[in-house]
């Protein structure tokens, strides 16, 4: 943990250093007043950015107008990420300069080329590219707040040889990571729920993180909106890591327990069947499949492990069910346990990563910083006869927007 922190702080320090060097080099030919003004504004923004991180818990974010808060957070994150982009480009330039220096040094070894060796300047093109890319990153994060309710319906067809004939053509909706406490627009969220209902699914599955921390985030209005979710075969849900209230201080242990109990009651009042390390059997046309739902189970040390697969699967083997779907919030569960110990799970549905709400997400190429933490982070993954789908999330957390990774409603058609 300490080593990881040192690495992160080192990257941040280098990013700040290279960004300042870049700004200083770009303004050095300006008149003194302009040079001092631009440098002063840059330093003021940098100080404000880091103060917002240091004083994060002391700032009353809820009292800010939503637009001001969202723009500020988006700018701060874009400013930090933009500097990391600058760092990467400037490092390329420094590597180029180092290689050039070595080549020239060797060429003039024992000769009189000292002056040529010392006059290897930074590339004007790479300086300009770094400045442009850094600026575009800030603009991208700021503009990305417009995408926080830009729901995308992704349609996935999956074929399984062991799926009972009565379930061929079954339509399943998956949503995940609603994070109600982040929302600031009931109408926009209601539009997203309407898009879910427009798909006419047979079954709706929610794979955790209804709230950020507190059950009261789901006020009466949001409960009414989420209660619109209906399906002929039911609406089922599981808990995610945020639902347990582990990330806030509670006055007493009993208060934390009461918060979770209230949240469980909200699931029930909305008509959602919350699955807590258990399974049910779905029947259609005299044939059966199993739906398994477990509490949060993560292979990452920073996240809780409340799930119990043995308990959830207890008695299922004797029922001789040919096809099984597992709802498990954290996709790291798939590789760490499901693939190893439960090879009869045909399809696992997860969320959790949000695709980090930032990256490239096309038919041909996917990239996000979250892939360096999770092997499976967005979309469909297959190993042998087992499949995992990682939903990109319905809501958002921290950054109030989306850049490249849009909020997702997934429609599966089984065949």
| Tens-place pLDDT, residues 379-409 | 999 999 999 999 999 999 999 999 999 999 9
Mean pLDDT of 32-36: 90
The pLDDT mean for the chain works out to 92
pLDDT reported for residue 344: 95
pLDDT reported for residue 92: 87
pLDDT beyond 60 at 119? no
Of 206, 256, 266, nearest to 231 by C-alpha is: 206
52: pLDDT confidence band, cut at 50, 70 and 90?
Answer: confident
Among 92-101, 106-115, 249-258, the range with the most confident prediction by mean pLDDT is: 249-258
pLDDT reported for residue 60: 76
pLDDT beyond 90 at 58? no
Write the CB contacts of 145 (distance below 8 Å, at least 6 apart in sequence).
70, 71, 74, 400, 401
* Residues of the chain above pLDDT 70, percent: 96
pLDDT beyond 90 at 100? no
Q: From residue 226, how far is each of 220, 221, 268, 269, 301 by CA, in Å?
A: 10, 9, 11, 10, 32
pLDDT reported for residue 115: 53
More confident residue, 377 or 116: 377
- In the CATH scheme, what is the homologous superfamily, with its name and number, of domain 151-414? Metallo-dependent phosphatases (3.60.21.10)
Mean pLDDT of 119-127: 73
Residue-wise pLDDT tens digits, 248-292: 999 999 999 999 999 999 999 999 999 999 999 999 999 999 999
Task: Count other C-beta atoms under 10 Å from residue 139's C-beta.
Answer: 14
pLDDT beyond 90 at 108? no
277: left (phi over 0), alpha (psi -120 to 50) or beta: left
233: pLDDT confidence band, cut at 50, 70 and 90?
Answer: very high
pLDDT reported for residue 99: 85
Q: From residue 119, how far is each of 27, 43, 129 by CA, in Å?
A: 21, 29, 22
Among 58-62, 130-134, 299-303, 320-324, the range with the most confident prediction by mean pLDDT is: 320-324
pLDDT reported for residue 227: 98
109: pLDDT confidence band, cut at 50, 70 and 90?
Answer: low
pLDDT beyond 70 at 116? no
Mean pLDDT of 285-307: 94
Among 94-98, 114-118, 297-301, the range with the most confident prediction by mean pLDDT is: 297-301
β pairing state of 360-361 and 347-350: unpaired
pLDDT reported for residue 349: 98
* Residues of the chain above pLDDT 90, percent: 76
**Contact in structure between 262 and 215 (CB atoms under 8 Å):** yes
Burial of 166 (0-12, 13-18, 19+ CB in 10 A): middle
Alpha-carbon dihedral angle through residues 68, 74, 79, 85, given to the nearest 10 degrees: -170
3-state secondary structure of 300: coil
Q: What is the pTM of this model?
A: 0.89
Mean pLDDT of 88-112: 79
pLDDT beyond 60 at 314? yes
Write the CB contacts of 330 (distance below 8 Å, at least 6 apart in sequence).
240, 241, 296, 297, 298, 299, 300, 303, 350, 352
Residue-wise pLDDT tens digits, 142-156: 999 999 999 999 999
pLDDT beyond 80 at 7? yes
Residue-wise pLDDT tens digits, 150-182: 999 999 999 999 999 999 999 999 999 999 999
pLDDT beyond 80 at 122? no
pLDDT beyond 80 at 63? no
pLDDT reported for residue 93: 83
User: Where exactly are the structural domains of the chain?
Assistant: 2-145, 151-414
């Amino acid at each position: 943990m300490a080593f990881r922190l040192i690495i992160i702080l080192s990257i941040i320090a280098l990013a700040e250093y290279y960004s300042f060097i870049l700004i200083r080099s770009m303004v050095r030919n300006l008149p003194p007043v302009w040079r001092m003004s631009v440098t002063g504004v840059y330093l003021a923004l940098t100080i404000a950015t880091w103060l917002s991180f240091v004083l994060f818990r002391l700032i009353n974010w809820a009292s800010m107008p939503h637009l001001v808060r969202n723009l500020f957070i988006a700018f701060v994150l874009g400013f930090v990420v933009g500097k990391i982009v600058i760092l990467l480009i400037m490092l390329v330039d420094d590597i180029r300069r180092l290689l050039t220096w070595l080549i020239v040094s060797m060429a003039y070894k024992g000769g009189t080329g000292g002056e040529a060796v010392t006059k290897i300047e930074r590339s004007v093109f790479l300086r300009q590219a770094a400045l442009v890319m850094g600026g575009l990153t800030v603009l991208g994060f700021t503009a990305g707040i417009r995408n926080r309710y830009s729901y995308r319906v992704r349609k996935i067809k999956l074929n399984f040889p062991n799926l009972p004939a009565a379930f061929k053509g079954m339509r399943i909706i998956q949503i995940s990571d609603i994070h109600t406490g982040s929302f600031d627009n009931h109408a926009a969220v209601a539009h997203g729920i309407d898009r879910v209902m427009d798909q006419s699914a047979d079954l709706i599955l929610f794979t955790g993180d209804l709230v950020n921390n507190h059950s009261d985030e789901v006020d009466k209005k949001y409960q009414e909106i989420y209660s619109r979710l209906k399906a002929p075969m039911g609406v089922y849900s599981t808990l995610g890591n945020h639902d347990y209230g582990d990330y806030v201080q509670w006055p007493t242990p009993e208060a934390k327990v009461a918060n979770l109990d209230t949240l469980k009651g909200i699931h029930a009042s909305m008509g959602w069947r919350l699955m807590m390390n258990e399974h049910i059997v779905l029947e259609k046309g005299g044939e059966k499949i199993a739906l398994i739902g477990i509490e949060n189970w993560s292979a990452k040390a920073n996240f809780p492990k409340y799930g119990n697969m043995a308990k959830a699967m207890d008695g299922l083997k004797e029922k001789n069910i040919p096809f099984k779907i597992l709802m498990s919030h954290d996709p790291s569960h798939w590789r760490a346990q499901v693939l190893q110990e439960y090879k009869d799970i045909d399809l696992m549905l997860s969320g959790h990563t949000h695709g980090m709400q930032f990256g490239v997400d096309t038919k041909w190429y996917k990239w996000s910083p979250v892939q360096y933490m999770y092997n499976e982070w967005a979309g469909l993954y297959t190993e042998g006869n087992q499949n995992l789908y990682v939903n990109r999330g319905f809501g958002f957390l921290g950054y109030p927007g989306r850049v490249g990774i849009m909020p997702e409603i997934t429609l599966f058609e089984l065949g």
